[in-house]
Amino acid sequence: MSAPRSLFDKIWDRHVVLRRDGQCLLYVDRHIVHDGSFHAFANLSRRGLKVRRPAQTFGTPDHYVPTASRSSADAPTPEIRRMVETFSGNMRAHGIRAFELGDDRQGIVHVVGPEQGITLPGLLVVCGDSHTSTHGALGAFAFGIGQSENAHVLATQTLWQARPRTLRVSVEGRRPDGVAAKDVALALIAKLGAGGAAGHAIEYAGAVVRAMSIEERLTLCNMSIEAGARAGMVAPDDATFQYLHGRPFAPKGAHWDQALAAWKTLPSDAEAAFNREVTLDATGLEPMVTWGTSPEHALPVSGVIPNGPTRALEYMGLVPGEPLQGLSVDRVFIGSCTNSRIEDLRAAAAVARRGKAKVPAMVVPGSGLVKKQAEAEGLDRIFREAGFEWRHAGCSMCVGINGETGRPAERIASTSNRNFEGRQGQGVRTHLMSPAMAAAAALAGRIVDVRR
């Protein structure tokens, strides 16, 4: 009998092409590219290389696209417009299947991959974006790479990697009502620290994770990188299989049956060893809000500003001892690869329908298909009637490089993943929270506990 192996071990082992000096050359099943991948394509052109496996490469523009319309002509500057158009040119030149602006399938890479069934259990998925950890929610090993690595994968369909250590995070207990997957993620990052899981692949386990919907697992895995982890993953189960069945790029017919049989062997063996184990009890969790400039600066909403690093306090314009609740916000952003899926929009709309936004608020769905689904459910109407702007899909204000940013010193309640200095615009103060909490902040014009 072979030694017991974890989900991660099983996926890693089957992707090793060869080993050399402590590194493994890994085979890549799926490579997703976006409009920030131009350095990689420039690299290929310079060397006269072709894309080795166009059928395993998928593209969609997300970082630079305008969300007010579906025309790159509406980009705020010619340079931003050029990014979107360069992307299209690269996709055409290399014969890569792309979901372009105007195609309902276009959207944020980490929303589109799972939604289209491009991401599957057991696969190795990479993308030139750190939040690629998201895809692990379906039982894939997925991680973000740089542009040199991007070019390497395009040309060879492989990547050199050192085997990460493994960390099992068991979320146990009972998750209280009103506590979202985002809150679990923020609580965990606060516990581990922003670099606490560096060099590790996390497997999320435990009763609370098992009970999560696939979209909640996507949110949880998405934030793995904010604890420094290389990847986050959840063992595939019936919920995963149901989610994937019938998705456009998921296996069909006999291939589906073969895949299903293979996927059922993926979960970690009972005796599998992990380099580290951490347990989080969800029972006492509250909605979480970040106060500072690192995702580890997360507090329960009932908390008070701690005596944290001076620079973070000054940047955020906060004083230790001040309560989080009641802090006025200037703007609200609901979107990003963390929280822009249909369940996120439903949670936000359920709050938005109770009132009117006191501050500018915008909702940016994660993909054209999420947008369509939300409109079919009437969520767009709820948001509009509550004074929220209803946008087209893209990364938008999470990273702001499409020109959609806040103004200096503005305080933003945001469902995105990073509260770094300047992330949402120079001088902008970001408070991360769940979609329901962000919607509640819009209605109140300040940070409130959505449960009250």
Partner 1 sequence: MKFTTLTAPAVGYEPVNVDTDQILPARFLKMPRGAGYGQFLFHDLGAGKPDLARGAKIFVANRNFGCGSSREGAAFAFYDAGFRSILAPSFGDIFYMNCLKNGIVPVRLPDKVCARLRALPAGAALTVDLEKQEVVAPEGTRHAFQVDAFYREMLLKGVDELGLTLSLESEIGAFERRYAEAFPWASGS
- Closer residue to partner 1 in complex, CB, 49/350: 49
206: left (phi over 0), alpha (psi -120 to 50) or beta: left
Q: Who's near 337: CB < 8 A, 6+ residues apart?
A: 108, 109, 110, 111, 131, 134, 222, 366, 395, 398, 417
Residue 11: closest CA among 166, 127, 124: 124
Single out the residue of 6, 56, 119, 339 in contact with partner 1 (rule: CB under 8 A): 56
- Closer residue to partner 1 in complex, CB, 52/451: 52
CA atoms within 13 A on the CB side of 255: 7
Tell me the per-residue interface mask from 4 to 43 with partner 1, x by CB under 8 A, - otherwise: ----------x--xx-xxxx-x-x-xx-----x--x--x-
Interface with partner 1 includes 76 (CB under 8 A)? Answer: no
Name the minimum Å distance from CB 348 to partner 1: 25
> Within positions 142 to 171, which residues make up the interface with partner 1, using CB under 8 A?
144-149, 151-152, 155-158, 160, 162, 164
Which phi and psi angles does 446 have, rounded to 5°? -160, 170
> Within positions 279 to 338, which residues make up the interface with partner 1, using CB under 8 A?
294, 296, 309, 311
Angstrom CA distances, 387 to 70, 345, 349, 381, 415, stand at: 22, 15, 12, 10, 18
Which residue reads 């959207």 in tokens?
A: 107
Residue 328 DSSP code: B
- Closer residue to partner 1 in complex, CB, 188/359: 188
- Closer residue to partner 1 in complex, CB, 212/240: 240
> Within positions 350 to 369, which residues make up the interface with partner 1, using CB under 8 A?
none
- Closer residue to partner 1 in complex, CB, 54/360: 54
Distance from the Cα of residue 331 to its chain's centroid: 21
- 155 contacts 43 by C-beta, under 8 angstroms: no
- Closer residue to partner 1 in complex, CB, 423/431: 423
215-223, 247-255, 280-288, 435-443 -> range binding partner 1 (CB under 8 A): 247-255
Name the minimum Å distance from CB 39 to partner 1: 7
119-127, 320-328, 351-359, 365-373 -> range binding partner 1 (CB under 8 A): 119-127
Interface with partner 1 includes 80 (CB under 8 A)? Answer: yes
List, as one string, the DSSP characters of 215-273.
Answer: HHHHHHHHGGGGGT-SEEEE---HHHHHHHTT-TTS--HHHHHHHHHHHTT-SPPTT--
233-241, 250-258, 329-337, 354-362 -> range binding partner 1 (CB under 8 A): 250-258
Interface with partner 1 includes 246 (CB under 8 A)? Answer: no
List, as one string, the DSSP characters of 312-325.
Answer: HHHHHT--TT-BST
- 111 contacts 367 by C-beta, under 8 angstroms: yes
Where do the DSSP E strands lie in 60-137? Answer: 97-98, 124-127
d(CA 212, CA 172): 12
d(CA 338, CA 56): 24
Distance from the Cα of residue 7 to its chain's centroid: 21
Residues contacting partner 1: total by CB under 8 A: 73
Single out the residue of 258, 279, 283, 302 in contact with partner 1 (rule: CB under 8 A): 258
Single out the residue of 207, 249, 372, 381 in contact with partner 1 (rule: CB under 8 A): 249
Single out the residue of 88, 165, 174, 199 in contact with partner 1 (rule: CB under 8 A): 199
> Within positions 397 to 436, which residues make up the interface with partner 1, using CB under 8 A?
399-401, 418, 420-423, 426
- Closer residue to partner 1 in complex, CB, 249/286: 249
Single out the residue of 259, 285, 298, 412 in contact with partner 1 (rule: CB under 8 A): 259
- Closer residue to partner 1 in complex, CB, 424/439: 424
- Closer residue to partner 1 in complex, CB, 34/331: 34
- Closer residue to partner 1 in complex, CB, 87/390: 87
Name the minimum Å distance from CB 452 to partner 1: 32
CA atoms within 13 A on the CB side of 346: 10
